[in-house]
């Protein structure tokens, strides 16, 4: 359907094989339940995914999809996260991506529970563990990244890893607010996403951009800004997160900017409707788009 519409597509089928109910082995969790409840739970399937896809079948399916669609879309290797894949599977995913010249995408440090699980089972953060097994690199993007440590931030910036910030999903699920301003200040590249779980089910990416900007205005004692009167993320920075940094997350250096040599991958907004009822011509165009743009202002989508 995406291809029939002429839209660009990056597709990341998920590799996942463990800890489907809780942060722990499935058999241990099921053994804790009363027999009747255990039977009901087993009959309903895994709590989050409904299906496991271990490394062997996963890479077979990935190769089939790549053979059929790879000349028209970008295929990504996507282990769901360190808690849902074994170390062997993570290593295989990195090797497969290297062999195919593909990008890697996974969840990382989304919730405080994930952080605690990593510290208890790995005796280090998820990011430290991924660095230790040689998983991190410039072809890697991490979804969420709400609970990075100072050392995690250094590691990710040094390895050229992109963090994909999903502000409304993190609020809806109670995961927290990622200190994006601090990440950017430390040299990390941060893109913007939705994770498919927004606050209103509308998947309005313009709302996501505004929320990302406003959340960074909340004072933080853990990651205080250099300027105590900071107004959060500049509008241009948010636009870069939504465009060029999103392209960098999947090594798409030819899109995301309006300049010679880049692809015409564009959303055209109607300036007249955008400026109604009143807009002073001297307003910063980046701030204007961030503050006022709505789906109704969209005139055309171009993907060439």
pLDDT tens figures, 31-53: 999 999 999 888 777 765 567 88
Q: Which of 50-59, 117-126, 182-191, 267-276 has the lowest mean pLDDT?
A: 50-59
**162 contacts: CB under 8 Å, gap ≥ 6:** 140, 141, 142, 188, 189, 190, 191, 245, 248, 249
Which pLDDT does position 202 carry in this prediction?
76
Mean pLDDT for the stretch of residues 43-69: 85
Look at phi and psi of residue 121 and say left if phi exceeds 0, alpha if psi is from -120 to 50, else beta: alpha
Please report, for residues 83, 112, 142, the alpha-carbon distance to residue 96 in angstroms, rounded to integers and kept in the order given: 20, 30, 18
The sign of the CA dihedral 263, 62, 99, 194 is: positive
- Write down the pTM of the prediction: 0.92
**CB-CB contact of 127 with 148 (8 Å):** yes
Average pLDDT score over the chain: 91
Strand-pairing partners, residue 266, are 302
**What 3-state class would DSSP assign to 171?**
helix
pLDDT of res. 132: 97
Query: What is the average pLDDT across 249-254?
Result: 92
For the segment 130-157, the average pLDDT, to the nearest whole number, is: 97
**Residues 281-287: contacts with CB within 8 Å, 24+ apart?**
284/235, 286/234, 286/235, 286/236, 286/238, 286/239, 287/235
Please say if the pLDDT value at position 196 is more than 80.
no
Percent of the chain clearing pLDDT 70 (strictly above): 94
Task: Choose the weakest-confidence range: 132-136, 163-167, 194-198.
Answer: 194-198
| Cis ω for the linkage preceding 277 (within 30 of 0) | yes
Confidence of residue 225 (pLDDT cuts 50, 70, 90): low
Dig out the tokens for 279 from the structure: 């807009």
Report pLDDT for 54: 84
Closest CA to 85 of 144, 119, 41, 129: 129
Q: What is the mean pLDDT of residues 63-67?
A: 96
The answer, yes or no, to whether residue 221 has pLDDT greater than 70, is no
- Whether residue 98 contacts residue 109, with contact meaning beta carbons closer than 8 Å, is answered with no
- Exposure of 183 in the CB half-sphere (CA atoms within 13 A): 29
pLDDT band at 146 (very low <50, low <70, confident <90, very high): very high
Better-scored residue on pLDDT, 187 or 201:
187
For residue 61, pLDDT beyond 70: yes
pLDDT above 80 for 279: yes
CB atoms near residue 217 (< 10 Å)? 12
Q: Which helix (H) or strand (E) holds 180?
A: helix 180-185
More confident residue, 266 or 155: 155
pLDDT for the residue numbered 228: 63
**Is the separation of the CB atoms in 164 and 171 below 8 Å?**
no
Nearest-10 crossing angle of helices 87-100, 55-69? 20
Distances (CA, A) of 111 to 59, 116, 294: 28, 9, 30
């Amino acid at each position: 359907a995406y291809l029939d519409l002429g839209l660009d597509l990056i597709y990341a089928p998920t590799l996942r094989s463990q800890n489907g109910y809780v942060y722990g082995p499935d058999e241990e969790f099921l053994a804790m339940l009363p027999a009747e409840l255990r039977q009901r739970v087993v009959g309903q399937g895994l709590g989050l995914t409904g299906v496991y896809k271990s490394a062997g079948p996963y890479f077979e399916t990935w190769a089939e999809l790549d053979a059929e669609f790879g000349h028209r879309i970008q295929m990504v290797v996507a282990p769901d996260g360190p808690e849902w894949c074994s170390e062997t599977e993570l290593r295989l995913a990195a090797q497969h991506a290297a062999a195919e010249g593909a990008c890697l995408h996974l969840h990382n440090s989304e919730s405080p529970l994930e952080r605690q699980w990593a510290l208890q089972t790995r005796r280090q953060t998820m990011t430290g563990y991924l660095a230790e097994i040689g998983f991190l690199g410039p072809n890697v993007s991490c979804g969420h990244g709400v609970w990075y440590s100072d050392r995690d931030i250094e590691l990710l910036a040094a390895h050229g890893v992109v963090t994909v910030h999903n502000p409304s999903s993190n609020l809806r699920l109670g995961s927290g607010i990622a200190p994006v301003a601090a990440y950017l200040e430390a040299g990390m590249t941060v893109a913007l996403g939705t994770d498919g779980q927004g606050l209103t089910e509308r998947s309005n990416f313009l709302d996501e951009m505004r929320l990302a900007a406003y959340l960074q205005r909340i004072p933080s004692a853990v990651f205080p800004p250099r300027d105590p009167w900071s107004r959060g993320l500049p509008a241009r920075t948010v636009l870069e997160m939504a465009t060029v940094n999103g392209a960098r997350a999947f090594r798409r250096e030819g899109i995301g900017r309006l300049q010679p040599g880049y692809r015409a991958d564009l959303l055209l907004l109607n300036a007249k409707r955008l400026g109604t009822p009143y807009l002073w011509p001297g307003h910063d165009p980046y701030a204007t788009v961030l503050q006022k743009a709505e789906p109704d202002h969209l005139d055309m989508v171009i993907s060439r």
